[in-house]
Chains A and B, each alone.
Chain A
Amino acid sequence: MKVGFEHYLILSALLFALGLTGVLVRRNLLVIYMSLELMLNAANLSLVAASHFSPGHSLDGQVFVFFIITVAAAEVAVGLALIVALYRRRQTAHVEDLTTMKL
C-alpha cells in the first residue's frame, strides 16, 4: 500500500495522543514538559506532510514548522528556567506537591 498523506496524518495523530497521555498520566514536571515537546513535534509532522502533499508543493508548511521550532526552543528555555526557579523555592518537581493555586 502506497504511503500517502493519510498515513502521515495517522502517525501524527498517534504521536499527539501519546504526548497528551503523557501530560495526563505523568506526575513529574520535566516528563510532562517532554510530552509537550512530543505534541509539538506531532503538529510539525502533520504540517510538513501537508506541505509535501499539497497540490502546488508550496513550502508554507515548512516555513511554519521552522517558526514553530524556533518558538519551541524559546519556550523550552523559559519553561525550564521557571521549573528551576520553582524547584529552588519548593524543592520539588512533582505536580502533586504544587497545589497552592488549587481552589
Chain B
Amino acid sequence: MALKVVLVGCGKIADGHIEEIQKMPKRAQVVAVCDRELLMAEQIATRYGVPAYYDDVDRMLAVERPHVVHISTPPGSHVALARAAFQAGCHVFVEKPLALNSVEAAALVADAERFGKKMTIGYTYLFDPVAVQMRELLASGAIGDVVHVDSWFGYNLAGPFGSALLGDANHWVHALPGKLFHNNIDHLLNKLIDFIDDDQPEIQARAWRQRAQTFGDSRDDMPDELRICVHGKRVSAYGTFSSHVKPAAHFVRVYGSKSIMHVDYVSRTVTLDHGATLPSAIGRLVPAFEQAMQYLKQGGRNAAAFARADFHFFSGLNRLAAMFYDSIAEGGPLPISTRDMLRISRWMDQIFGLIGTGGRR
C-alpha cells in the first residue's frame, strides 16, 4: 500500500518534493498540500494535480490522515509543524535546516522519539549518485585512510532564491541566526559526517560580506563568504561557502593516505588522483591521460544514466525519500541518523557564534 503523503509549505523547493514523490506511486502518493497562503497551495496543487489543498495544517491532518508529512516551510516553523504531525501519528520529512538552533533541533528529535515516529531531513546530496559512488570507492579502500576533507559549496546570489532574498529586506532568511549560511551550510557540513565522527570537533570560522551592493537595511548585514576549519580526532576538514567564486562549484575532495578523490556534484563525476606512479618525465606525462580517461568513463556513465532516464536534478532527493519511505514501511533504519542531524545542528550553532552577526568588507 502506498503511503499517503502531505506537504506543508508551497515555496520553491516544494516542487522538487512533489515531482520526486510522484515518480514512486507504488511507495507514496501526495494527497494534499498546505500553505498558510491558500493561493500558494492552490497553484502547486493545480500544477501537479494534487487532489486537495489547505491553508490550515491541523485541518489537513485531520481530514487527510496522512502517513508522512513533508515540511518545506522556513525553519522557524519546523518544530511546531513537526510536533503537530507527530501528534497526528505521522512520520516527518523536514527540509534543512532542521531548526533555528541545536536546542530546538534536540526538542524536535525528542518529539519524534516520544511519539515513536520517524524523521528525516533534506540532506539530499548525501544520496546523489556521486555520493553513492564515493562511498563504494571508500569502502573498497581506493584512497586508503582519510586524512583530510575539503567541502566546497558555491552559491549563486543572482539565482531564483538569491534574488528573492536580496529583493526583500523582510525575507525570512535575514532573520535566521546564521542568515544566508543558515539556510545552506547543511549541504557543506553534512558531507563531513561520513569522515568526522566527533560529537564536538574543534571549529574555526570566519565570514564576511564581499558584495558591494548596499540597501541600507538588514540585507547589508548578511555575510556571503564563509570559511571554516574543522579538527576532528582523526580527520580534519576545510569548508568553503562562496557566493562570489564563479562558476558556483559544488564538490568534495577527500584526501587519503593512498590517493585523492574528487567528487563533483555539478558535473557528476568522481575521479581519483594517484599522483605520479612512473619515474621522471614519464611520471609527469601519464597522469593527465589517466585523469582524462577517468572523466571519459564518468561521462559515459552519465550518458548511460541519461539514456535510461536516470539523470535527474533531484536524484538525491528521490533516493532519500524512497529510503525513508522504505524505512517506514519495513521498519528498517533511518537513512540519516538523528545523531548526525544533531551534530550538524550543534556545529552550525558553533559556527554562527564564531562569526557573529554582520560581516565585513
Do the two shown chains form a genuine complex with each other? no
